[in-house]
Amino acid sequence: MKTSSKGIDFIKSFETLRLKAYKAVKTEKYYTIGYGHYGPDVEPGMEITENEAERLLAEDLADFERCVSRSTAGWNLKQCQFDALVSLAFNVGVNAFQNSTLLKLVKQGASEYVIRNEFGRWCHSGGRVLPGLQRRRQAEADMYFSCVKESIMGKFPEISPVFLILFMLATSCGPGKHLPAQTEHRDSVSVEVREVTKFIRDTVWMQIPIQSAENTTRDTSSHLETDFAESDARINPDGTLHHSLRNKEQEKPVPVDVPTTQKDSIVYRDKFIYETIEVERDLTGWQKWQMRSFWILLSGLLMFILRKPLLALIRRFI
């Protein structure tokens, strides 16, 4: 089996034509040139023409085609599958491909999910994941399953539409075991608002003005002072006592009760609600067949789609 032109173009799109030797990853042992030609025959500074690159690609492809053909002998690969495996072998090498878990899964007829996941594991180079390899593995997996999906409907073009029509007729109007019925509830809404007045203890600051008072007496001298006022007394030349009292300017806290009003509301609900409930009923013979046929046709469709993996599984135990 040979790689198709589509497969060759696919490999070229990822390998990219390089007419001068280079190392894609510094840790690689040998240099690469042309369309991914890698090996000891490529020397540093080597240059080739485009025709020489095409010749090297054809020689390399022949080696990898033989490798894939031998590794999958007895397994009827489709062209898209063969192209995808050749692209992978071309990129990872013959030994890595022949010893890969992916090849074993292909021979076992593993599911699409498992094979796609195994394609995605081949994305490391130099001990790290390369985004370019991730894109290539994704594209190879898509190619591997492209013609497989096309053949599911393509092999039986006249049977598949009929099968789908029967499937829809048998299941699209499938009956239920219950009938809808309507019931009525009364429900309405009313709101009651209540007001409650409460007194909250608070503090008011009162301004005390400056006040003074004087008195003359024949008593002895004195001096008085508190936090709110001060007093001075003196004996006048005529023998009288002059006494003065003066308040200190300040603010004095006075406790008061401040009234506050709080509102609360109570909601009462009383209105009509229409609700649909299900009532059981007996099914006719045709309706019972419709319910059973859904699972029968679904099982047949799944077996048709998964026929290859199932056959491969059966072969393992025969």
Which residue has 């898209």 as its token pair? 80
Instruction: Give a yes or no: residue 283 inside a domain.
Output: no
Residues 42, 151 within the same domain: yes
Which of 137, 155, 173 finishes a domain?
155
- pLDDT classification of 211: cutoffs 50, 70, 90: low
Contacts of 149 by beta carbon, 8 Å cutoff, 6+ apart: none
Res 155: pLDDT = 46
Give whichever of 47-56, 182-191, 194-203, 206-215 has the largest mean pLDDT: 47-56
Predicted confidence band of residue 154 (pLDDT cuts 50, 70, 90): very low
Structure token digits, residue 5: 């032109």
Q: Is residue 253 part of a domain?
A: yes
Please, what's the largest Cα pairwise distance for the chain? Answer: 145
Q: Are residues 120 and 45 in the same domain?
A: yes
Mean pLDDT within 205-209 = 67
Domain tally, the chain: 2
173 within a domain of the structure (yes/no): no
| Residues taking part in catalysis | 15
CA distance 202 to 308: 88
pLDDT-derived band at 157, boundaries 50, 70, 90 = very low
Range 147-169 average pLDDT: 53
135: which 2 tokens? 């894109």
Which carries the bigger pLDDT value, residue 29 or residue 138?
A: 138
> Do residues 124 and 255 both lie within one domain?
no
What is the SS3 assignment for 212-246? EEEEEECCCCCEEECCCEEEEEEECCCCCEEEEEE
Domain identity same for 12 and 137: yes
- Single out the residue of 136, 72, 66, 140 nearest to residue 106, CA to CA: 72
133 lies in the same domain as 198? no
Residues 10 and 113 in one domain: yes
User: Looking at residues 288-294, what average pLDDT do you find?
Assistant: 75
49's tokens = 């023409």
Strand partners, 240: none
202 three-state secondary structure = strand
Residues 147 and 20 in one domain: yes
Is position 24 within any domain? yes
Whether the pLDDT of residue 152 is over 70: the answer is: no
> Which CA distances in Å does 159 have to 19, 137, 294?
52, 35, 18
* Chain position carrying tokens 């390399």: 60
Task: Kindly state whether residue 162 falls inside one of the protein's structural domains.
Answer: no
Token reading at 173: 């109007």
**Domain at 13, CATH number:** 1.10.530.40
Task: Give the domain range for residue 207.
Answer: 188-270
Q: Same domain for 142 and 199?
A: no
Which string of DSSP letters, residue by residue, matches 268-294?
A: EEE--EEEEEEEE-PPPHHHHHHHHHH
Q: Among 131, 155, 179, where does a domain finish?
A: 155
Give domain status of residue 275, yes or no.
Answer: no
User: Does residue 211 share a domain with residue 137?
Assistant: no
